[in-house]
Amino acid sequence: MIIVARGKALLCQAAVALLVATPVAAIADDDYDKSVDYNGLAIAVDRALPKSPRHRPRRLQEAWVQMSYVVTPDGRAVDPIIINSSGGAVYEDEVRKAAEGWRFEPSATGAELPFNITNTRFTIRGRGKGTTRRFARYVQHIMRNLHNENIVGARKNADAAIKLGGWNLYESTILWLMAGRVEGAEGDDAGKLEMYRRGLAVSDERSLQRKARIDLLEEIFELEAGFGQYSAAIQTLAVLREIKGSKEVIERLSARAAEIEAKLESDPELIANATVTNPCDCDAGEALWDYVPIRRTFSFANLNGNVNRFEARCELQRIDGAIETDQQWTLEADWGFCQVFVFGDDGATFDFVEHLPNSEDSDAENQTAVARNHVLDRRSRSQ
């Protein structure tokens, strides 16, 4: 169900959640608990929590927002990029507003620090982690239509549920996984991967239990590997290895993992198929694709639709430019960990090409994004 054949456990889990649905009382405007997890080199002096939106989509809405930003030499947060979110644009706006007042220790070198990521969760104090009857009805309609192969009906149900909003993060986990199943039924594996990643990001141990989490990560790994997004696939495999009970899955994926490792070592070009998407599924925000490259030299190819610019944010430097298919860019070794953002129209596609360094280059061994474990360890803390 939610995750193809192996994902039947996720559907069963969702169905059980629906059976224990509980009504929720009204809340006061100040009944949000907010938390901000931070990853970056800048040292915070003042990082106040965002406010709860006055005009949120629905009164009981919970939300999650992941944002990248740059810290200036004098310690201000600028140039925010919403990487991903669940809940709507009003929550993104509050995170952006809060960031305008954040202050960090001035840079010792007098340079900006471009790589900074926060994960902000808006949860309602005292709200149960079950599902409401309204949400249960939407999910039951989606499940029934998928079972009957009525993909148009399932899409209509999923879009209506997303548009209505008002869901807690427990419900959002189920909804994004359902949306991923719909995308897959429509033949859109890029959309399926995006929805599955979003469901994974907003989940916790209660909304996505261990067996279901393992199944979901396996499916994400296979999708990432299929798209040539090997850096992401390696990270997903690393997360899987840390989960108790994943040994059988790791063994099942071992041959594919070995094939990826061989490609990373020897293939002159690694080609990741990419699709630009709107991270919040709303009218506000900028459509993008983001990626942590394994190699430091990259280019773009096979543009389909409007893909207009990129920005690479590293720990100690950033570069940006227009997308040109006949040009290569290099992220210098001393810039540290890097993340590449590509901007364009929602649905545009392109190939992100990573180039093997010239073996005659005396510094060739340093031309990966950073030491591999460092890449994965840092990225896992930002997820």
Share above pLDDT 70 across residues of the chain, in percent, rounded to a whole number: 83
Whether the per-residue pLDDT at 357 is higher than 90: the answer is: no
| Per-residue confidence (pLDDT) for residue 89, from 0 to 100 | 87
Q: Residue 19: pLDDT above 80?
A: no
Q: What is the pLDDT of residue 9?
A: 46
Domain ranges of the chain: 32-124, 209-260, 267-382
Most confident of 114-128, 141-155, 156-170: 141-155
Q: Residue 313's closest CA among 20, 79, 136, 38?
A: 79
Q: Is the pLDDT of residue 377 over 60?
A: no
User: Each residue of 166-225: pLDDT tens digit?
Assistant: 888 999 999 999 999 999 999 999 999 999 999 999 998 888 999 999 999 999 999 999
- Is domain 32-124 classified as CATH 3.30.2420.10? yes
β-pair partners for 70: 78
pLDDT digits (tens, 9 = 90+) for 89-142: 889 999 999 999 999 999 888 899 999 999 999 988 766 667 888 899 999 999
* CA–CA distances in Å: residue 102 to residues 39, 110, 112, 285, 288: 14, 18, 15, 21, 25
- Work out the pLDDT band at 163, boundaries 50, 70, 90: confident
Neighbouring residues of 257: CB distance < 8 A, sequence distance ≥ 6: 234, 237
Instruction: State mean pLDDT over 332-352.
Output: 95
- Is the confidence at residue 155, as pLDDT, over 60? yes
308's enclosing H/E stretch is: strand 307-314
Instruction: Average the pLDDT over each of 9-18, 192-201, 229-238 and give the range with the smallest value.
Output: 9-18
Q: What does the pLDDT read at residue 32?
A: 82
> Are the C-beta atoms of 305 and 347 separated by less than 8 Å?
yes
Q: What's the whole-number mean pLDDT along residues 31-57?
A: 86
CB 116 within 8 A of CB 102: no
**Looking at residues 57-79, what average pLDDT do you find?**
90
- 58 pLDDT band, cuts 50/70/90, is low
> Which tokens go with 171?
């419900």
Mean predicted confidence (pLDDT) in 69-82? 96
| Reported pTM | 0.87
In this predicted structure, what is the pLDDT of residue 30? 65
Band the pLDDT of 286: cuts 50, 70, 90. confident
Least confidently predicted of 7-21, 243-257, 302-316: 7-21
Question: Spelled out in words, what is the top-level CATH class assigned to the domain 267-382?
Answer: mainly beta
**Stretch 237-256: mean pLDDT, rounded?**
96
- pLDDT at residue 54 in the model: 78
Rounded CA-CA distance 236/224 in Å is 9
pLDDT band at 282 (very low <50, low <70, confident <90, very high): low
Q: Cα separation of 292 and 369, whole Å?
A: 8
Q: What percent of the chain has pLDDT over 90?
A: 68
Q: What is the pLDDT of residue 279?
A: 84
List, in order, residues 6 or more apart from 5 with CB less than 8 Å away. none
